[in-house]
Amino acid sequence: MSVIDKDNLTGYKEKSAELLRKQHVAVGDTITIKTSENEFTGILMPRYESADKNHIVIKLRSGYNIGIGTEKVRSIAKLTDPTREVPDAPATKIMTFVDSFKQVSKEFKINQSINQNDRSKEHPKIALLGTGGTIASKVDYRTGGVSAALSASEIYASVPELENYASIEPEVLLNEYSENLKPADWTIITDKIKEKITLGKYQGIIVSHGTDTMHYTAAALSFALQNLPIPVVLVGAQRSSDRPSSDAALNLIGATIFAVKSELTGVFVSMHATTSDDVIACHLGTRVRKNHTSRRDAFESIVGVPIALIRGEVLEMQLEQTGLKLKKRNNNTNGLVVRPDFDRRAVLLKYYPGFNPEFISHAVAAGYKAIILEGTGLGHVSKDCFPQIRNAVESGTLIFMTSQCIWGRTRMTVYETGRDLLDIGVIPLSDMMAETATVKAMWALANSKDAKSATKLMQENIANEISMSIPI
């Protein structure tokens, strides 16, 4: 039983707090704010402790949040009595999105039901696996920051538009910020996706995920789950759902549209394509990178363009422009190949001037079986590293070369340094991204009987991670 705190104005200060207090409004109340130009109705959201004091944030019925400058506010009116009971919700002072959704539905008589049985008759089924991250986060009142907390069903409830596209069956699998996820978690996610696919009733799988390492997980799933009959779409948010202009809802809608409508299968990442709320991009799991710390369009396809764009409800496929080949979705759940294991004895070392080659020797001594060098330019490191690399190769450690340039590809035959490294036994990885190469090496080590077969796996194009048609 949850009761809204009548005096709760968490995060509001000075002018904004004053305006709200005057109308006896508290966080969780449904209010109408009029400005000289517009009228907004929605639920008053809590704010960060450190948020600016000149905005009032309400959650609109669309699921979006909007921040209204206090100087623009002409009037604030509370629509209903904020004191009410929400059955079956845990006792908490924080109003969850399930609460908000139920409240909005009830008060505005929206003809939307969160009863999944009703939806399942009409729409394709999607499994939504929650793993944590900003997309599943809310304000932490202790610190004023954001922490992972919302369940997958809460996410679902907070984005009622999803009902238009799919019947979503959520399940909380993990609840971690993605920087804390480990290769063992990739195995857990792989196994759960396998379980869901084997049921044979889903049109696609969506994995909600923290953005920090979402591209690493996307690469991991691309190798661990081969011959996928249906698409697996990872989705995150750069701004938590309770912040103004959160990207959570639209990213999830984009992921759902792709998961339902795409004719192609594989592992993808669905995020904003631009900083405005108009286009979502679907990137290939092995060719995507988080290239901005905070922008909503932080994720970029490293191979040309994204696989698809979603504008409104329209899915625009761009596969041909990428030059890549993907399989079509099918009903053959038996064809699914699952190789969920990862061996952590692969290490990524980024080269820079002054890099001490002793780190290579240390990795060998520490028992690492593969070293992924993030070299400069076309795939170089200083000749000072040659003796340590030679020793590593002779001891049976695999040395793979990628480039820290991010775009382009290693080409180790052009310069002396590259040719010398090839002679020593360094294995070039063409245009495989350093991040993808590191994940793949962990996977290849766990799925090979010896170094030779691991090398073969690394050089083989399994999930469009490497363009073998272009000379190494």
- Give residues 322-351 in contact with a copy of itself (rule: CB under 8 A): 342, 344, 346-351
Output the CA torsion 187→188→190→192 (10° steps): 160
Q: How many beta carbons lie within 10 A of that of residue 295, not counting itself?
A: 15
353, 449, 450, 469: residue in contact with a copy of itself (rule CB under 8 A): 353
Q: Judged by CB under 8 A, does residue 192 bind a copy of itself? A: no
d(CA 113, CA 272): 28
Q: How many beta carbons lie within 10 A of that of residue 133, not counting itself?
A: 28
Our answer to whether residue 212 is catalytic in this structure is: yes
Residues 239 and 245: beta-carbon distance below 8 Å: yes
- Taking the least distance from each CB to a copy of itself, the nearer of 55 and 261 is 55
Q: Judged by CB under 8 A, does residue 416 bind a copy of itself? A: yes
Here's the x/- map for a copy of itself, 297-326, by CB under 8 A: it reads as -x----------------------------
Instruction: Give the interface segment with a copy of itself, choosing from 4-12, 31-39, 171-179, 391-399 (CB under 8 A).
Output: 171-179
Q: Judged by CB under 8 A, does residue 366 bind a copy of itself? A: yes
Contacting a copy of itself within 12-51 (CB under 8 A):
50
- Taking the least distance from each CB to a copy of itself, the nearer of 50 and 331 is 50
- Taking the least distance from each CB to a copy of itself, the nearer of 202 and 216 is 216
Task: Using alpha carbons only, give the angle 201, 136, 208 rounded to the nearest 5 degrees.
Answer: 40
- Taking the least distance from each CB to a copy of itself, the nearer of 70 and 213 is 213
Residue for token pair 């517009």: 38
d(CA 68, CA 4): 23
What phi and psi values does residue 68 have, to the nearest 5 degrees?
A: -115, 125
Buried (b) or exposed (e) across 158-175, using 16+ Cβ within 10 A?
Answer: bbbebbebbbbbbebbbb
213, 251, 256, 301: residue in contact with a copy of itself (rule CB under 8 A): 213
**Pairing status of strand 279-284 against strand 146-148:** unpaired
What phi and psi values does residue 377 have, to the nearest 5 degrees?
A: 45, -125
198, 312, 352, 453: residue in contact with a copy of itself (rule CB under 8 A): 352
Residues 82 and 45: beta-carbon distance below 8 Å: no
Q: Which two tokens stand for residue 80?
A: 């209903």
* Number of residues in contact with a copy of itself under rule CB under 8 A: 75
* Options 211, 213, 397, 436, the catalytic residue: 211
- Minimum gap (Å) between residue 202 Cβ and a copy of itself: 26
2, 65, 178, 208: residue in contact with a copy of itself (rule CB under 8 A): 178
- Minimum gap (Å) between residue 227 Cβ and a copy of itself: 24
Please list, in sequence order, all residues whose beta carbon lies within 8 angstroms of the beta carbon of residue 21, skipping any fewer than 6 positions away.
9
Q: Which two tokens stand for residue 193?
A: 């996706």
- Minimum gap (Å) between residue 139 Cβ and a copy of itself: 11
Contacting a copy of itself within 92-131 (CB under 8 A):
none
Q: Name 30's bridge partners.
A: 43
Q: Judged by CB under 8 A, does residue 439 bind a copy of itself? A: yes
* Options 134, 190, 256, 417, the catalytic residue: 134
d(CA 436, CA 213): 11
* Options 138, 194, 290, 369, the catalytic residue: 290
Q: Name 205's bridge partners.
A: 127, 232
Q: How many beta carbons lie within 10 A of that of residue 419, not counting itself?
A: 12
Q: Where are the beta strands (DSSP E) in 73-142?
A: 73-78, 125-130, 137-139
Residues 244 and 44: beta-carbon distance below 8 Å: no
- Taking the least distance from each CB to a copy of itself, the nearer of 90 and 354 is 354
* Options 212, 327, 376, 420, the catalytic residue: 212
Q: Judged by CB under 8 A, does residue 218 bind a copy of itself? A: no
Our answer to whether residue 99 is catalytic in this structure is: no
- Minimum gap (Å) between residue 16 Cβ and a copy of itself: 20
374: nearest Cα among 351, 353, 358: 351
23, 62, 227, 382: residue in contact with a copy of itself (rule CB under 8 A): 382
- Taking the least distance from each CB to a copy of itself, the nearer of 94 and 259 is 94
- Minimum gap (Å) between residue 367 Cβ and a copy of itself: 10
Q: Judged by CB under 8 A, does residue 294 bind a copy of itself? A: yes
- Taking the least distance from each CB to a copy of itself, the nearer of 76 and 150 is 150
Residues 216 and 250: beta-carbon distance below 8 Å: no
- Taking the least distance from each CB to a copy of itself, the nearer of 331 and 469 is 469
Residues annotated as catalytic are 134, 211-212, 290
